């Protein structure tokens, strides 16, 4: 299926200069978010407990005539006031979870709060708000959280190293370095969206970043493979012409793949609920920037790193000459002339 005319060549190299400017701005903004704001660690890494409750009826402090927003604020404030009466719940965060009757309580790790007794404590403390149901209760100790954080970092590093080895072996080093820089660029921007949208950093986010690593490098490699094929055709073209034609030829494939991925993840985001937002929202951002960077960032970086198509043609001609010489020598040997 072709979305674009097969013989239409777009000037991607020209527009890439604006892509690099946008990427530079977003990268600087990402660094500011990393070091100036920082991640909000979920219980997977920080330790503690998460309790999700569903209110069954209006609590005593609500006004039935109030708007939905007023009810939500009243519910949250009432629960905060009740929890503040027990020092074991100091630092707890209370927020809505999807709708006004779903409440999420994040409780920092406290040795006085044993997970086996937490449900009873919650039922006892929040009894004044009326009937409610504890729908979810997860607890993780700080030691387990540290181990999970260490495992997550190791997983990301191993994935990046494996990709670096693969592209370094497969491509000319400038293209390999460009793809690695692009990969870091995609992960940085996606990770910064976690801070921007106030999503807790947990295992779901790590899963989204690992998924993005595979998607982004695959998209870039498809483009680079096409560029290499065009150069191997032997036509005397400038590197700008090669890149423009290569990306234009893969544009329909890239668009269809990206849109398919985008709409699948968008469906997860819209209908999957708050429970998987840590996976769906970062991946939604990552799909957009992974596609954009493979067309407007990676090829331009290869040019900026000093790739010379003339030297490439010269090397390929030398390789072909050596291969022909070996073939000739082998034929002479097989014919008994040596």
Rounded to an integer, what distance in angstroms lies between the CA atom of residue 195 and that of residue 54? 27
What HEC string does 223-262 produce? Answer: HHHHHHHHHHCCCCCCHHHHHHHHHHHCHHHHHHHHHHHH
**Given this structure, which CATH class describes domain 48-140?**
alpha beta
- The first and second tokens of residue 330, run together, are 């082998």
In total, the chain counts a number of residues equal to 338
CA distance 40 to 244: 42
- Of 49-63, 205-219, 264-278, least confident by mean pLDDT is 49-63
Phi and psi torsions of 109, nearest 5°? -60, 135
Take residue 325 and report the two structure tokens written for it.
């010489």
Confidence check: pLDDT of 210 > 60 = yes
Looking at the chain, the domain(s) classified CATH 3.30.70.100 span 48-140
pLDDT of residue 286: 92
What CATH number is given for 12-41+144-307 in this structure?
Answer: 1.20.1640.10
- Nearest-angstrom CA–CA distance, 138 and 115: 8
Element (H, E) at 133: strand 132-140
Tens of pLDDT, residues 76-113: 788 888 888 877 777 777 877 767 778 888 877 777 77
Q: How sure is the predictor about 142, in pLDDT bands with cuts at 50, 70 and 90?
A: low
What is 38-64 written as a DSSP string?
---B-HHHH-EEEEEEEE-S--TT--T
User: What is the location of CATH 1.20.1640.10 in the chain?
Assistant: 12-41+144-307
Pick from 48, 39, 44: which is nearest to 198 by CA?
39
For strand 93-97 and strand 99-107, is the pairing parallel, antiparallel, or unpaired? antiparallel
Q: What is the pLDDT of residue 59?
A: 45
The partner residues of 53 in beta bridges, in order of sequence, read 103, 134
Structure tokens at 149: 């954080």
- Structure confidence at residue 4 (pLDDT): 56
């Amino acid at each position: 299926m072709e979305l674009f005319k097969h013989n239409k060549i777009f000037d991607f190299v020209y527009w890439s200069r604006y892509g690099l400017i946008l990427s530079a701005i977003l990268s600087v903004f990402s660094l500011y978010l990393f070091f100036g704001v920082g991640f909000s660690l979920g219980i997977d890494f920080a330790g503690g407990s998460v309790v999700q409750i569903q209110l069954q009826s209006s609590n005593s402090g609500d006004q039935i005539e109030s708007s939905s927003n007023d009810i939500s604020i009243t519910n949250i404030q009432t629960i905060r006031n009740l929890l503040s009466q027990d020092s074991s719940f100091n630092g707890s965060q209370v927020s809505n979870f999807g709708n006004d009757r779903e409440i999420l309580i994040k409780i920092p790790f406290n040795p006085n709060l044993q997970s086996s007794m937490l449900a009873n404590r919650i039922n006892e403390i929040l009894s004044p708000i009326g009937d409610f149901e504890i729908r979810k209760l997860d607890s993780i100790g700080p030691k387990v959280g540290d181990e999970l954080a260490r495992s997550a970092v190791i997983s990301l590093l191993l994935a990046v190293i494996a990709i670096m080895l693969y592209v370094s072996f497969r491509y000319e080093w400038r293209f390999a370095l460009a793809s690695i820089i692009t990969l870091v660029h995609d992960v940085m921007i996606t990770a910064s969206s976690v801070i921007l949208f106030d999503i807790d950093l947990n295992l779901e986010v790590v899963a989204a970043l690992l998924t993005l690593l595979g998607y982004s490098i695959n998209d870039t490699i498809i483009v680079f493979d096409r560029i290499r094929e065009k150069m191997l055709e032997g036509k005397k073209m400038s590197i700008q012409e090669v890149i423009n034609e290569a990306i234009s030829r893969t544009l329909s494939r890239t668009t269809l793949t990206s849109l398919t991925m985008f709409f699948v993840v968008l469906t997860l985001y819209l209908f999957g609920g708050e429970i998987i937002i840590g996976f769906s929202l970062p991946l939604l951002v990552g799909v957009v920037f992974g596609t954009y960077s493979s067309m407007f960032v990676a090829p331009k970086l290869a040019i900026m790193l000093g790739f010379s198509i003339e030297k490439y043609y010269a090397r390929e001609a030398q390789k072909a000459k050596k291969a022909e010489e070996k073939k000739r020598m082998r034929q002479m040997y097989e014919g008994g002339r040596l």
